[in-house]
């Protein structure tokens, strides 16, 4: 029996432990203070204990200060399997989750894991709990096999809102060294055959409109900010899609750029008042061949025209933006090794893709590190009744174990 076959069988035997660990973790909310939560402190403490329970004792931390978070910190945890003297393979998963959204859309408590029909239901089960738990038990498998590879598994904070308190903080503190490579298991396909090498740029734009509040029965005495903002929203969306219509079929499942209005704040509390203010947001995912600055310039130019025509003052600001890094070279060691592990453990021929979502991989690519993004996913991230397939969690752990043991 080959060493990878032994690892595969051993990981399979850990399935019950993996399910239990996932259930325990889901019960601990890890929502950013910016989204109404306390942060990742409690979940981080649980994960440190879980690492030690599984014989992974070389644990260090990079705690980012955040006055809004529980105990004033956002934890970033690193577990080392080797001696740390040479270049390392890093596996980066994130602890934080998005909020639950409309609880009425959930069939059960999002923070009480439910196991049914081969699935684990709960907020953060697939994004990013599945990969986080898989990495721990992949590490356990290679340690129990008597191996001590130069691998570091890390659980970071703040990924959902830009990573300033997460992997960006670790970079500032010098956590990574020349020669390090990265696996970021935070996106993937249902077959597990997609290895992501590139991401789109992103722009979150905040649009604030000022009009004049008045009674709804006398609209001419005011200026309806909501109406002016809505007209701008519809025109701007159609304009951007028409102008920036290039396609790049490396990117899946959407080969073009996207420009979607998303969050909108409430304005007035009662029905019979015309609002004097409005605030909403665009989420734009932009092909690397376009400049984010050009799109922002267009948005501001159109906002100025609408302001002139409507009398409302429409202002476009950057809420968050990121520039796409150059795609990672598929000749890098991490890509060759990951492709071999996927072929060996899953019998699948991998393919290289780009995605519209943003992960920690883009952040380290911008610093010159090679980073592969891979996992097996059902596309349940951020949805009500989010779930992870138990089979995906276990099979991904097998691939990670083979990658660690190479």
Say yes or no: 145 and 171 in one domain.
Answer: yes
CA distance 106 to 333: 42
Taken as a whole, the chain contains a residue count of: 406
- The 10s digit of each residue's pLDDT in 88-142 is 999 999 999 999 999 999 999 999 999 999 999 999 999 999 999 999 999 999 9
Regions of the chain short of the pLDDT cut 50: none
Contact 183, 89 (CB under 8 A): yes
Element (H or E) spanning 277, and its range? strand 277-286
Q: Is 96 a catalytic residue?
A: yes
pLDDT of residue 1: 54
Say yes or no: 220 and 114 in one domain.
Answer: no
Which are the contacts of 403, defined by CB distance < 8 A and separation ≥ 6? 89, 138, 183, 337, 338, 341
Say yes or no: 30 and 172 in one domain.
Answer: yes
- Percent helix, strand, coil in the chain, to 5, is 35, 25, 40
Say yes or no: 315 and 338 in one domain.
Answer: no
Say yes or no: 163 and 208 in one domain.
Answer: no
Say yes or no: 95 and 161 in one domain.
Answer: yes
pLDDT of residue 2: 75
Query: Taking the mean position of all CA atoms in its chain, how far away is CA 194?
Result: 17
Say yes or no: 53 and 176 in one domain.
Answer: yes
Say yes or no: 213 and 253 in one domain.
Answer: yes
pLDDT of residue 251: 97
Of 270, 290, 322, the residue that ends a domain is 322
Of 295, 322, 349, the residue that ends a domain is 322
- Name the catalytic one among 159, 168, 196, 344: 159
Name the phi and psi angles at 123, rounded to 5. -65, 125
CA distances in angstroms from 284 to 101, 217, 251, 314, listed in the order given: 21, 37, 15, 19
Of 322, 353, 372, the residue that ends a domain is 322
pLDDT of residue 166: 99
Give the relative orientation of helices 390-404 and 15-26 as an angle to the nearest 10 degrees: 110
pLDDT of residue 297: 99
* Spatial CA neighbour of 354 closest among 123, 208, 187: 187
β-strands 313-322, 201-210: how paired? antiparallel
Q: Which domain holds residue 16?
A: 3-199+326-404
Contact 42, 28 (CB under 8 A): yes
The CATH number linked to 307 is 3.30.70.360
CA distance 148 to 79: 12
Say yes or no: 382 and 278 in one domain.
Answer: no
- Name the catalytic one among 96, 168, 193, 199: 96
β-pair partners for 259: 284
Say yes or no: 338 and 393 in one domain.
Answer: yes
Say yes or no: 144 and 122 in one domain.
Answer: yes
**b/e map of 86-122 (b: 16 or more CB within 10 Å)?**
eebbbbbbbbbbbbbeeeeebeeebbebbeeeebbbb
Tokens (6 digits) for 235: 């025109």
Say yes or no: 243 and 208 in one domain.
Answer: yes
CA distance 36 to 44: 18
Domains held by the chain: number: 2
pLDDT of residue 86: 82
CA distance 396 to 130: 9
- The 10s digit of each residue's pLDDT in 240-278 is 999 999 999 999 999 999 999 999 999 999 999 999 999
């Amino acid at each position: 029996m080959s060493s990878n076959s032994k690892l595969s069988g051993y990981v399979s035997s850990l399935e019950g432990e993996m399910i239990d660990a996932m259930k325990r973790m889901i019960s601990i909310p890890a929502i950013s203070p910016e989204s109404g939560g306390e942060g990742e402190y409690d979940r981080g403490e649980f994960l440190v204990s879980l690492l030690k329970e599984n014989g992974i004792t070389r644990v260090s931390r990079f705690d980012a200060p955040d006055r809004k978070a529980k105990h004033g910190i956002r934890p970033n945890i690193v577990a080392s399997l080797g001696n740390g003297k040479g270049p390392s393979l890093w596996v980066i998963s994130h602890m934080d989750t998005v909020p639950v959204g409309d609880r009425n859309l959930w069939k059960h408590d999002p923070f009480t894991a439910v196991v049914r029909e081969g699935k684990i239901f709960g907020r953060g089960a697939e994004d990013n709990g599945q990969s986080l738990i898989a990495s721990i038990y992949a590490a356990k498998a290679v340690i129990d096999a008597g191996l001590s590879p130069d691998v570091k598994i890390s659980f970071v904070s703040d990924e959902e809102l830009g990573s300033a308190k997460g992997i960006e903080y670790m970079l500032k503190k010098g956590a990574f060294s020349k020669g390090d490579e990265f696996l970021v298991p935070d996106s993937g396909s249902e077959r597990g055959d997609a290895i992501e090498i590139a991401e789109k740029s992103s722009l979150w734009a905040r649009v604030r409109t000022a009009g004049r509040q008045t009674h709804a029965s006398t609209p001419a005495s005011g200026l309806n900010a909501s109406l002016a903002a809505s007209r701008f929203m519809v025109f701007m969306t159609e304009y951007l899609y028409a102008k920036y219509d290039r396609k790049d079929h490396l990117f899946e499942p959407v080969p073009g750029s996207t420009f979607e209005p998303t969050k909108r704040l409430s304005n007035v509390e009662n029905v019979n008042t015309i609002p004097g203010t409005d605030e909403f947001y665009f989420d734009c995912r932009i092909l690397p061949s376009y400049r984010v600055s050009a799109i922002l310039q267009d948005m501001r130019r159109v906002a100025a025209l609408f302001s002139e025509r409507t009398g409302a003052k429409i202002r476009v600001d950057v809420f968050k933006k990121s520039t796409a890094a150059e795609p990672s070279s598929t000749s890098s060691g991490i890509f060759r090794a990951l492709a071999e592990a996927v072929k060996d453990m899953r019998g699948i021929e991998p393919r290289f893709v780009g995605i519209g979502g943003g992960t920690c991989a883009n952040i380290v690519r911008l610093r010159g590190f090679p980073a592969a993004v891979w996992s097996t996913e059902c596309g349940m991230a951020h949805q009500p009744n989010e779930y992870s397939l138990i089979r995906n969690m276990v099979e991904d752990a097998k691939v990670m174990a083979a990658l660690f043991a190479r």
